[in-house]
Structure 1
Amino acid sequence: MTYSTDHHAPEGLRTRGTVIVVPGRGETRASYARFGSRLAHDAYRVRVVDPPAADPAAVAPFLDALARRLSEAVEGVAAETPDGLPRPLVLVGSDLGAAGLAALLASGASEAAWWPQAAVLAGLPGHGARAAGRWEDELDVRTHCPTHRGVLTGDAAVERGALAGAVPRELLDAAYASRAEIPHLLLVGDADPLADRAAIARAARTLPKARLTVVRGAHHDVLNDVQHRSVAAEIVTFLEALREELIPAVTVETSAW
Structure 2
Amino acid sequence: MTAAPALRSADTWHPAEGVVVRGTVLLLPGRGEHPGVYGRFGRRLAYDGYRVQAFADVGALADATRLAEQVDTAREAGAPVVLAGSDTGALLALAASAGAARPDGVLLVGAPATLPAGGAAEERPVWHDELTARTACPVHRGLLAADPDFRPGRLGVPVPAELAAAAEAATPDLPVLVLHGLADPVAPPAAARRLAARLKRAELVLVTDGLHDVLNDAAHRSVAAQIVQWLERLRADRTTLPHLLTASSSWEGTTS
- After TM superposition, the score normalised by the length of structure 2 is 0.85
Identity of aligned pairs, percent?
42
Give unmatched runs, 5+ long, in structure 2. Answer: 1-6
Q: Map 1:101-112 onto structure 2 (within 5 A).
A: 101-107=93-99, 109=100, 112=101
Alignment of 1:230 with 2:222, yes or no, is: yes
Aligned counterpart in structure 2 of residue 221 of structure 1, from 206, 213, 218: 213
SS of structure 1 residue aligned to 2:211: coil
Post-superposition offset of 1:169: 3.5
User: Residue 18 in 1 paired to residue 24 in 2?
Assistant: yes
Aligned residue identity for 1:7: W
SS of aligned partner of 2:11: strand
Task: State the match for 2:165 in structure 1.
Answer: 173
What does 1:26-175 align with in structure 2 at a 5 Å threshold? 26-52=32-58, 62-68=60-66, 71-72=69-70, 75=73, 77=74, 84=76, 87-107=79-99, 109=100, 112=101, 115-126=102-113, 127=115, 132-175=124-167
Give, in angstroms, the shift of residue 187 of structure 1.
Answer: 0.5
Q: Secondary structure at the match of 1:213?
A: strand
CA distance in 1, matches of 2:167, 2:34: 22
Give the structure 2 partner of residue 240 of structure 1: 232
> How many residues are paired up?
238
Gaps of 5+ in 1: 57-61, 79-83
TM-score by length of structure 1 reads 0.85
In structure 1, what is the Cα distance between the partners aligned to 2:188 and 2:39?
27
Give the Å deviation of 1:103.
Answer: 1.7
The one-letter code of the counterpart of 1:11 is E
Structure 1 stretches of 4+ moved >4 Å: 127-131
Per the TM alignment, residue 48 of structure 1 is displaced from its structure 2 partner at its CA by 1.0
Q: CA deviation at 1:172?
A: 2.0
**Partner SS for 1:116:** coil
Give RMSD over aligned pairs. Answer: 2.2
Aligned twin of 1:59: none
Determine the C-alpha separation between the residues in 2 that align with 1:6 and 1:19: 10
SS of 2:26's equivalent? strand
Q: CA distance change for structure 1 residues 156 and 4 in 2, over 3 Å: closer, same or farther?
A: same
Shift of residue 168, structure 1, vs aligned partner? 2.3
Q: Deviations over 1:34-64 (max 9, x none)?
A: 0000000000111111132xxx6xxxxx323
Deviation at 1:170, TM superposition (A): 3.6
How far, CA to CA, are the matches of 1:183 and 1:131 in structure 2? 36
Following TM superposition, by how much is the alpha carbon of 1:199 offset from its aligned partner in structure 2, in angstroms?
A: 2.9
| 2:189 paired with 1:197 | yes
Counterpart-to-counterpart distance in 2, 1:101 and 1:194? 19
Whole-Å separation in 2 of the counterparts to 1:117 and 1:94: 18
Cα contact 2:64–2:95 (8 A) shared by 1 = no
Contact 2:29–2:35 (CA under 8 A) maintained in structure 1:
yes
